Amino acid sequence: MQSDAPVFIVESAHGVRLKLTDGRELIDGMSSWWSVIHGYNHPRMNAALENQVRKVSHVMFGGLSHEPAIELTRQLLAITPAGLDSIFYSDSGSVAVEVALKMAIQYWHARGRPERRKFISLRCGYHGDTFGAMSVSDPDTGMHSLFSDALAKNVFVDRPRCRFSEACSDADIAPLAQTLEQHAPHTAALVVEPIVQGAGGMWFYSAEYLQKARALCDRHDVLLILDEIATGFGRTGKLFACEHANVAPDMMCIGKALTGGYLTLAATLTSKAVSDTIDQGEPGVFMHGPTFMANPLACTAASTSIHLLLESPWRTNIRRIERGLQQGLAPCRASASVADVRVLGAIGVVEMKQAVDMHHITRAFVNAGVWVRPFGKLVYLMPSFIISDADLAALTGAVTSVIKDL
């Protein structure tokens, strides 16, 4: 959070538009940090939540259950990669990562290998803002350097240089192969964002790299945790980004778009082998229990959002948005201040050569009628899947114009 950045007060939101208290309307290019995939104020989402709140808004998820959680579990097990058979619900993406890390440690403890408690992750990665999640996020370029002395010390590997759609050479995978060779005896899991590194750099890397990472984990008997919090539910053109590589993880974290941006909810999915091993070890249960775990309102939002997504022509929409982003952002390449322009699915990135001035650029975007929230050197777009071609063109046009004037 930057204290010098301006703050604008939102009065209401509908579709892809935010209405400010001063009467201005902005086309939202961020879908509220990548979560509002169906747009704001969706009538079916609203109706489902209104109906559920009349039944039960919250009940503890210990010794009790409820239909929204049961239905959501059925849906998630049906659409996620094969081999993910157990689900643990939590409150946010960061906590879903915390849960995965704790599961990995407890799994190895149950197997009689308590020394396997370190984690390997990629540089320029981002996995959340809680302490465990910070410990596997980039230690140098992220926003967590202030806490470095207080964090668990994990192992980091240079991010893949091979871009999406490129082959992954032996040289590309060598740093990870060497690191696993050296550290596997004390490693619980490899933690990566599949295909797209999100808030750590918006980098799109080769699907073949992920395939080779899976094979290395299998060779060294190391768990693979995939963080699909930013990429899940269609954002990259596949329902989950790991599908680009046809790879299934041992654990997968989801959140953000899970509820269509209505309520906070996340989940950690894992294989039966992992969950059974934890249950059969000491103390015989996974040691975590959020108060609002599987909240009925949040589960209702998630279940309704998944129905809406699967019933929609989402693949066609993502391809349409991808084309619009490619065409609309292409003129940015002509700017001397731009280092790179890249697009994958409904993600468009303009990487600048220098970090942007948040105070100036945020006001410039608002004055242009759009909501875009850059960070560091990255000006990026992740619009709602319902955005029209005209609004997408207006959005990319505003980005091109503001960057040209920088």
Whether residue 93 is predicted with pLDDT greater than 70 in this model: the reply is yes
Q: Which long-range contacts (CB under 8 A, 24 or more apart) does 8-15 make?
A: 8/366, 12/41, 13/40, 13/41, 14/39, 14/40, 14/41, 15/39, 15/40, 15/41, 15/384, 15/386
170: left (phi over 0), alpha (psi -120 to 50) or beta: alpha
Question: How many residues can be counted in the chain?
Answer: 406
DSSP state of 390: H
Residue 141 — very low, low, confident or very high, per pLDDT cuts 50/70/90? Answer: confident
Half-sphere exposure of 8 (CA within 13 A, CB side): 24
Whether residue 2 is predicted with pLDDT greater than 90 in this model: the reply is no
Q: DSSP for 53-67, please give it.
A: HTT-S---SSS---H
Residue 4 — very low, low, confident or very high, per pLDDT cuts 50/70/90? Answer: low
Half-sphere exposure of 25 (CA within 13 A, CB side): 9
What mean pLDDT do residues 7-15 have? 97
Six-digit token string for 209: 């790299």
- What predicted TM-score, i.e. pTM, was given to this entire model? 0.96
Q: How far apart are CA 222 and CA 107, in angstroms?
A: 11
pLDDT at res. 129: 94
What mean pLDDT do residues 225-232 have? 98
Interval 96-115: pLDDT, tens: 999 999 999 999 999 999 99
Mean of pLDDT over the chain: 96
Interval 298-316: pLDDT, tens: 999 999 999 999 999 999 9
Going along the chain from its start, the domains and CATH numbers come out as: 10-34+313-405 (3.90.1150.10), 48-310 (3.40.640.10)
Whether residue 1 is predicted with pLDDT greater than 70 in this model: the reply is no
* Residue 180: Cβ-neighbour burial (10 angstroms; 0-12, 13-18, 19+): buried
Q: How far apart are CA 393 and CA 43, in angstroms?
A: 26
